[in-house]
């Protein structure tokens, strides 16, 4: 709606995507992101490197530097994973933090993990992501957006995050903490994990194990955000497999108040938050978009 109000003379947000290799899942994700850009009136730029053997780290860095200096590009996304021959950290650090719409640059990560609790520090409004002056990872941001959209009062709630990855587990835990939830992270070394999860008002499952969380782990009336997406054999289907989450949805829906489906729950929110981050970057760069 915001983009539709712009005139033809206004600049438009631009998202540049780097795709290395020919992984089918990565190609699908990139197509979805480009389609979303087109549907909301954003420009998108795709740079593909299909020949993994021929591509060099230097070539990727050169393209990223070009995008860093291109005023038509407001967001840069490097589709992960990268081939083993490429150092992922080097590539991600090369992206200008102000254009790092995936929120994976160390500067953006450090900003997210700054609780700013000491006296005199300016407080951020964590209820309005458009006001945050740096980029937040898209999937964790989408998890919080879902909680907000159902009217969940996060403050004071017991939240359990299952998984401690840099992409989802740790950043979503920090976002919950910024919203004054009491946060516990559980992982493969947690003892009596089911007892810990059972105490949660909010459960975010992001571990990548099909149906790891049964109904018996969940407190009645809790809210579950299932980030996991796993394929399981389904010989009776055309594809021979189906996608399921980390939580046993069929069981869980009998006791929870809210639960996200897989697929179709967190995934679309991730793309929506990517577009929001690109919009925010464009707005900061252009002064609300006026050329």
Is the bond into 81 cis (omega within 30 degrees of 0)?
A: yes
DSSP string, 6-56: --TTS---EEEEEEES--HHHHHHHHHHHHHHHHHT-EEEEEEE--TTT--
Phi, psi of 203 (to 5 degrees): -120, 125
Question: Taking a C-beta distance cutoff of 8 angstroms, is the pair 128, 148 a contact?
Answer: no
Alpha-carbon gap, residue 266 to 144, rounded angstroms: 10
CA distance 36 to 276: 11
Strand (E) positions, 41-194? 43-49, 75-78, 158-162, 182-186
Counting DSSP H helices and E strands in the chain, the numbers are 9, 10
Active site positions, annotated: 33, 79, 102
- Asked if 63 and 47 count as a contact pair (C-beta separation under 8 A), the reply is yes
Q: Give the separation between CA 201 and CA 155, rounded to whole angstroms.
A: 11
Virtual CA dihedral for 106, 111, 112, 118, nearest 10 degrees?
140
């Amino acid at each position: 709606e915001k983009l539709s109000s712009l005139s033809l003379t206004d600049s438009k947000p631009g998202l540049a995507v780097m795709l290395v290799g020919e992984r089918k899942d990565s190609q699908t994700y990139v197509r979805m992101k480009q389609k979303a850009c087109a549907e909301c009136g954003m420009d998108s730029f795709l740079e593909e490197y299909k020949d993994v053997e021929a591509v060099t780290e230097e070539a990727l860095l050169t393209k990223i530097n070009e995008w860093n200096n291109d005023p038509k590009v407001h967001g840069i996304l490097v589709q992960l994973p990268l081939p083993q021959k490429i150092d992922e950290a080097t590539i991600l650090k090369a992206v200008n933090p102000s254009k790092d719409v995936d929120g994976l640059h160390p500067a953006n990560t450090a900003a997210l993990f700054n609780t700013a609790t000491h006296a005199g520090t300016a407080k951020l409004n964590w209820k309005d992501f458009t006001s945050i002056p740096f980029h937040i990872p898209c999937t964790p941001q989408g998890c919080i957006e879902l909680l907000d959209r159902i009217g969940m009062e996060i403050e004071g709630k017991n939240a359990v995050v299952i998984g401690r990855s840099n992409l989802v587990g740790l950043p979503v835990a920090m976002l919950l903490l910024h919203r004054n939830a009491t946060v516990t992270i559980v992982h493969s070394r947690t003892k009596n994990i089911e007892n810990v999860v059972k105490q949660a008002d909010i459960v975010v499952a992001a571990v990548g194990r099909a149906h790891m969380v049964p109904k018996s782990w969940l407190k009645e009336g809790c809210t579950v955000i299932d980030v996991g997406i796993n394929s399981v054999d389904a010989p009776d289907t055309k594809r021979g497999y189906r996608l399921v989450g980390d939580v046993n949805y069929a069981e869980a829906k009998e006791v929870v108040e809210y639960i996200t489906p897989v697929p179709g729950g967190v995934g679309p929110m991730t793309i929506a938050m990517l577009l929001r981050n690109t919009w925010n970057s464009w707005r900061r760069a252009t002064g609300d978009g006026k050329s």
